[in-house]
Amino acid sequence: MSTASATTLGHLPNRAPAQFLRARRRAAVVLIVIATLIAASFWSLNLQWANFFSASSMGRMTKFLGELLTPSREATFLAKLAIASLETLAMSALGTMLAALGGLVLALPASQSPGVESSLARAPVRLILNVLRSIPELVWAALLLISAGLGPFAGTLALAMHTAGVLGRLFAEAIENAPTAPAFALRVQGVPPGRVFLYATLPQVLPQIISYSLYRWENNIRAAAVLGVVGAGGLGQMLAFHMGLFHMKEASSVLIAMMLLVSLVDFLSYLTRRLMAR
Amino acid sequence: MTNLAALAPPRRDPAFHERLSWALLALVLLIPSLYATDFKPWVFFTPENLRVTARFIGDFFPPKLEVEFLTMVAREAWRTVAIATAGIALALVFAAPLALASTAILSVSSLPGRMHAIPFAARQAVRLLLIFLRSIPELVWALVFVRVVGLGATAGVLAIALTYSGMLGKVYGDILESGNLHSTTSLLRNGASRLQAFFYGLLPENAGELTSYTIYRWECAIRSSAVLGFVGAGGLGQQMELSMKMFNGSEVSTMLIAFVLLVWLADHVSLQLRKMIA
Amino acid sequence: MQNSSNNGALRIELRGLAARHPASAASAAPALKPLGLAITPGEQVAVIGPSGAGKTTLLHAIACALKPAQGGLLLNDDDPWSLPVARLQKLRGRIFMAPQNPPLPPRQRAITAVLAARLPAQSLWRSLRSLVYPTGIGEAHAALQQFDLADKLWDRVDRLSGGERRRVGLARALVAPASLWLIDEPLSALDPTRAKLAIDTLTGAARERGVTLIVTLHQVNVAARFPRIIGLRDGELVFDLPSMELTDDRLARLYAQYEHELTGPRTYAAEPNSDNVALPGRIVPT
């Protein structure tokens, strides 16, 4: 062999260099922290595994599962199911639409176009958007129920509030990332900011806005389906009602209706986005 | 000689009809939605509701700040995080092998070309399982488990574990399949076992993305865990629901603030961790 | 240096074997037309030919990475494709193939990348332990040193240059428990000095261990130093000769219309080298 063989190596390293060991130590620390967090979680929760795996629990689960596999098909029940489905669908669609409008209104002050000094309102509006989106739909629903009473109205508004926060932030980012030339040209001519937005920025970001809204609709149909559990109407309310009475067969039909509805909305959303892209 | 009249642009806006049709369609869908969701904003302003709302919101300021109460809130906030962490940890345990089983990359039988029939069917079955797990809303799982194991954290942990194992499993599979497969295929071709190819090829190639997504989902799980509390699965959500039922505005106010802070903190930690990985 | 499979060197035989390129669709025309070939254990063979000749496909077919579209492959008189999947996988462990594009995960360290070649001979537990802290630093160091990369032992693969990555991929051969080395374009992205080092190391190590070595090359002057040269063009075997018998004329016909792909002088004198291999004689210009 033409190159030096192993036996002539004077400085054969049998240990890793310091940098490697440091990296390994850091990784080990991170892993230990995560493991501690997980262990602490399990321990502090005092989970009732015995309860879950007990004979009676397992027996109940099997009974539930059995009933869940035989959905009810009784006529009057199915009629109510259809109405509830329409209610849920309407909740999700209307809620998303309101959220898109609200989000757009809030996105304008919340966005900062490069070259334009941000408005004073930017920070507070961003805070509002954050609060809106931090609070989950269900919590909003529970709050709004107090003022608006039971029923889908509270659910629609809850969806609208939460989604407005989400969409508002997405819209603001889209506005900030839009090419600035058209808006700049108008601003330089002295056009007031509102009209600059309508004529220059909005047409550019409109496809993205519609796309984001359609995506959120897909999410919102799932949320709307379960909002009823706290009393906001629709399929969720039916589900909570029947589960409370252990009517697993009816609950099963409701679940199937939920899944069908979700698939429908996913499909419609996909179709609309495809149509728009053409 | 060209006919100038024929070259003149149309006098009417050609896009107007189409836009009008879309607008009318939206209106036609909107009105029944308003009806179906029982949309009556004036309900907020009935004297009765106004009174209740005013008192509830009035109670928000000042938020309840007694030490004993704050300790309880802190403890429940930790429990919410713990439920999320335990749930995600369990979800990981299920999702990792399911994800591996669902990808075609580690398929030894498909190294030369098409996969054999039985492994293919097995992989599709795993995929279907993952899709099933993630399409059932966690709230539904929680409702079932609360009736099986009773109120408390166990139901929440199990609900999160099941739903998120579907989500994590599916996305892990997608990440693995869309990453660079060259090193993994090469190891398999040279005779390494499937798990060896995973640890020496797939994992190093995709570790960043996998970890990043997992951290993002942990953050989502914290929000889910709060929501699940509303149906009795423990944590801050459960306490909030109790306080809301009692119309105790100041308690709800404190807990809402705590929740928003918690979400913000988790968001922050998640962002930092994901930056460290990149 | 380890020498784990001097036994069990494989005898290769192709009979009318046709195969499609690894990346092509199932309905595409085969990149390799039916060809026959026999390689004895311990032989060193260079495969040359213009682009699209089927060199990569040939290597993949021999490595059992591709099922033949036609004809058969025999390794030690066994058809690997008739074996159960588990045994075939074990057989693959005895073959080491280095693709042209080094298959190294970007964030992996060179030492782990090199030691990954040991996997077929390691249990899962040992491979995992080695991930935490490499077992076999000496082995990896020695392998990389043969390619003048010892100082990059602990560096991340994505911090290495293209040529360095290529050499890490080649260094794996020295660590693999294989008795058949199939190397695709080992010298791409390497400068002349390093190229010479690389090819010397590979051929020397192969000879020392009795490993069969098959290499595809564009650099004809390097190919001429192998005892046997195979020329492919458009999927067909154009010639299969002891390199002494390779004439300029044959070379020109092989690379007709692809002359720009020839690297190195078309006529070449025997280069002084430190191997003890019997040198091919002078090429007789026609």
Q: Transcribe B156-184 into DSSP letters.
A: HHHHHHHHHHHHHHHHHHHHHHHS--HHH
Instruction: Specify the 3-state DSSP secondary structure of C210.
Output: coil
The answer to whether A151 faces chain B, any CB pair under 8 Å, is yes
Is residue C283 over pLDDT 50? no
pLDDT in tens, chain B (278 residues): 556 656 677 777 878 888 888 888 888 888 888 888 888 888 888 888 888 888 888 888 887 888 899 999 999 999 999 999 999 999 999 999 999 988 877 777 666 666 677 888 888 899 888 888 887 888 888 888 888 788 888 889 999 999 999 999 999 998 998 888 899 999 999 999 989 999 999 999 998 889 989 998 999 899 899 899 988 888 899 999 898 888 888 898 899 999 989 988 998 888 888 887 76
> Considering only alpha carbons, which residue of chain A is nearest residue C1?
A6
Whether B277 has its CB under 8 Å from any CB of chain C: the answer is: no
This prediction's pTM: 0.81
Residue A51 lies in a domain: no
Domain-located, residue A98: yes
Yes or no, beta carbons of B226 and A86 under 8 Å apart: no
Q: Which neighbouring-strand residues pair with C12? A: C39, C75
* Minimal Cβ distance to C141: which of A2, A12, A20: A12
All structural domains of chain B with their residue ranges? 67-277
Total count of residues recorded for chain A = 278
Cβ-Cβ contacts under 8 Å between A and B: the total is 153
For tokens 């039971």, name the residue: A150
| Residue B118: how many other CB atoms lie within 10 Å | 9
Burial A266-277 (b: 16+ CB within 10 A, else e): eebbeeeeeeee
Q: Is residue A38 part of a domain?
A: no
- Give the one of B183, B192, B197 whose C-beta lies nearest to C104's C-beta: B183
B chain contacts of residue A61, beta-carbon cutoff 8 Å: 144, 148
Q: Which of A142, A243, A262 sits opposite B143 (nearest CB)?
A: A243
Q: Tell me how far apart the alpha carbons of residues B192 and B186 are, in angstroms, rounded to a whole number.
A: 9
Scanning the structure block, which residue is given the tokens 């990296």? A23
- Whether residue A220 is contained in a domain is answered as yes
Q: What is the dihedral of CA C72, C78, C79, C84, to 10 degrees?
A: 180
Question: What architecture is domain B67-277?
Answer: Orthogonal Bundle (1.10)
Is there a contact between B52 and A47 if contact means CB atoms under 8 Å apart? Answer: no
Hey, is C184 helix, strand or coil?
Answer: strand
Helix axes A234-244, A248-277, angle to 10 degrees: 160
Binary contact (C134, A16; C-beta < 8 A): yes
Split into its structural domains, chain A has a count of 1
> What is the total residue count of chain B?
278
Pairing of strands C180-184, C44-48: unpaired
Q: What is the pLDDT of residues A221-251, one digit of tens each?
A: 989 988 888 888 889 999 888 888 888 888 8
Which tokens in the block code for residue C44?
């060193």
d(CA C58, CA C79): 16
Is A140 part of any domain?
A: yes
Q: Chain C: list its partners (3+ Cβ pairs within 8 Å).
A: A, B
Positive or negative: CA dihedral B117, B119, B121, B123: negative
Contact partners, residue A85, CB within 8 Å, separation at least 6: A234, A235, A257, A261
Residue A32 lies in a domain: no
* Distance separating the N- and C-terminal Cα atoms of chain A: 65
pLDDT computed for residue A68 by the predictor: 77
B252 Ramachandran zone, left/alpha/beta (phi>0; psi -120 to 50): alpha
Residue A248 lies in a domain: yes
Distance of CA C258 to the CA centre of its chain: 23
Tell me which DSSP letter residue C271 carries.
Answer: P
Q: Buried (b) or exposed (e) across B67-93, using 16+ Cβ within 10 A?
A: eebeeebeebbbbbbbbbbbbbbbbbe
Comparing C-alpha atoms, which of B177, B174, B176, B170 is closest to residue B126? Answer: B170
Q: What is the CATH number of the domain that holds A183?
A: 1.10.3720.10
Phi, psi of A239 (to 5 degrees): -60, -50
SS3 C97: strand
Phi then psi for residue A236, to 5 deg, are -60, -40
User: Does residue A268 sit within a domain?
Assistant: yes
Domains of chain C listed by start with CATH number: 8-94+179-286 (3.40.50.300), 104-177 (no CATH)
The confidence band for C176, taking pLDDT boundaries of 50, 70 and 90, is very high
CB contact (8 A) between residue B260 and residue A61: no
Determine how many CB atoms are found less than 10 A away from the CB of residue C87. 12
Q: In what order do the strands lie in the sheet with C228-233?
A: C95-98, C180-184, C212-216, C44-48, C228-233, C236-242
Tens of pLDDT, residue by residue over B80-135, are: 999 999 999 999 999 999 999 888 777 776 666 666 778 888 888 998 888 888 87
Identify which of C204, C246, C212 has the alpha carbon closest to the alpha carbon of residue C48: C246
Asked whether the beta carbons of residue B150 and residue A246 sit closer than 8 angstroms, the reply is: no
